[in-house]
Amino acid sequence: MKSWERFSDMVTTAEEAGHERAQQLVREGRMPTLYLYYKKAEGDGDGALTMFDDSDAVPEGWILATGEGLRCNLSYNEYWSWIRARALVLPVLGAN
């Protein structure tokens, strides 16, 4: 798989996680603010992207990509574009 395809898949995975988490929090009556987190690529292996709410306990190994939070009132395309724009500079693609 080409690097741009792997990157696109990572962005989609983060978008889906963020959208799902936002919907869960809205059902609970909360207004989420999501933040982009990443895991660095190691050697040939790719890293990862995901979204956490500001109230979530972030698991060890995840690095905050930007202090800019994302509100939940966006369309799928807006989530995806927002994540992609910020993830372009992150070291998430492995050497393969």
pLDDT digits (tens, 9 = 90+) for 16-26: 999 899 889 98
Coil, helix or strand at residue 64: strand
Say if residue 40's pLDDT is above 80. Answer: yes
Degrees (nearest 5) of the Cα angle 93, 51, 75?
A: 105
Say if residue 83's pLDDT is above 90. Answer: yes
CA 38 to chain centre: 7
User: CA–CA separation, 66 vs 86, rounded Å?
Assistant: 8
What pTM, to 2 d.p., does this model score? 0.92
pLDDT of residue 37: 98
User: CA–CA separation, 10 vs 56, rounded Å?
Assistant: 21
CA 55 to chain centre: 16
